[in-house]
């Protein structure tokens, strides 16, 4: 990163850390409700150690590192919240993501070195679908915190995205190529009434003012259960490279989530 990008990155990172720490302090009962969800499920039992998870992997990023992608997942699961980790996408989905990039060296992305990983909310739940039940268990205070956290994480996404803009205060040049694109995975819940409706509405609002930067945002299926890879192979057309397929389907899903938009040149 150049000097300006590094400065902006550090500012965004500290905003993110402070937000997660404050959210954790203001919801002292959150771990209790999350633990109740764990105790109810049929899957592996575990102790909730980190109710709100800041991605500690960001602390490993230095100015000398080259960021080539910002990836947004859902929310921290069992392995992500463990005190020994406190990092995003370190469970089964993360292993699938690592494997995908390792098997596509032409993309020139090392998943653990070249990617900033964010979530739509830093609030933990055993499964993403459990966020709805967590709202019911925790009542209005927890429900509001989950909704507000999604809007805050959308704001942080744009902060990190701006780190790599030539001039983050000015509109991007028409049809300027993306220096660092954004991939948002797990788009199926980004709809009216979906778990991540608040996140979706906020990014639509934020990127409406940045139409070209909006074209740097791509949507995909989740890595879990190989949905991402299966969808890529299913939609890949004869003669297309993986990068070409990713660009095409990621833009198509963007229109589905954010609405169609025609750039004026």
Q: Report pLDDT digits (tens) over 206-227.
A: 998 876 578 899 999 999 999 9
| Local structure of 224: helix, strand or coil | helix
Sort residue 186 into left (φ over 0), alpha (ψ -120 to 50) or beta: left
Of 130, 162, 167, the closest CA to residue 146 belongs to: 130
**Does residue 21 register a pLDDT over 70?**
yes
260/194: higher pLDDT: 194
Taking the whole predicted model, whether its pTM rises above 0.75 is answered as yes
Cα dihedral: 92, 93, 98, 99 (round 10): 80
Task: Quote the pLDDT of residue 174.
Answer: 47
Domain ranges of the chain: 3-258
- DSSP letter assigned to residue 186: -
| Local structure of 123: helix, strand or coil | strand
Helices (H), the chain: 3-26, 30-40, 78-81, 92-103, 130-162, 197-208, 211-214, 227-235, 242-258
List the structure tokens of 112. Answer: 């653990």
């Amino acid at each position: 990163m150049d000097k300006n990008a590094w400065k902006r990155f550090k500012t965004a990172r500290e905003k993110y850390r402070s937000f997660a720490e404050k959210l954790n302090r203001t919801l002292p009962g959150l771990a209790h409700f999350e633990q109740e969800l764990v105790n109810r499920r049929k899957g592996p039992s575990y102790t909730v150690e980190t109710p709100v998870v800041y991605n500690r992997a960001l602390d490993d990023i230095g100015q000398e590192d080259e960021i080539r992608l910002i990836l947004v997942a859902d929310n921290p699961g069992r392995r992500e919240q463990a005190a020994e980790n406190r990092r995003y996408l370190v469970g089964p989905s993360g292993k699938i993501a690592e494997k995908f990039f390792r098997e596509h060296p032409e993309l020139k992305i090392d998943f653990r070195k070249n990617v900033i990983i964010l979530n739509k909310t830093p609030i933990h739940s055993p499964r993403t679908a459990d966020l709805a039940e967590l709202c019911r268990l925790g009542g209005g205070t927890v429900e509001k915190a989950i909704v507000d956290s999604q809007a805050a994480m959308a704001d942080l996404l744009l902060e990190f995205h701006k780190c790599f803009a030539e001039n983050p205060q000015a509109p991007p040049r028409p049809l300027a190529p993306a220096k660092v694109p954004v991939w948002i995975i797990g788009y199926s819940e980004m709809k009216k009434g979906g778990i991540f409706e608040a996140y979706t509405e906020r990014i639509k609002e934020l990127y409406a003012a940045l139409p070209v930067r909006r074209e740097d945002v791509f949507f995909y299926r989740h890595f879990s259960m190989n949905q991402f890879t299966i969808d890529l192979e299913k939609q890949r057309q004869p003669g297309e490279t993986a990068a070409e397929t990713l660009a095409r389907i990621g833009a198509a899903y963007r229109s589905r989530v954010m609405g169609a938009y025609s750039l004026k040149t």
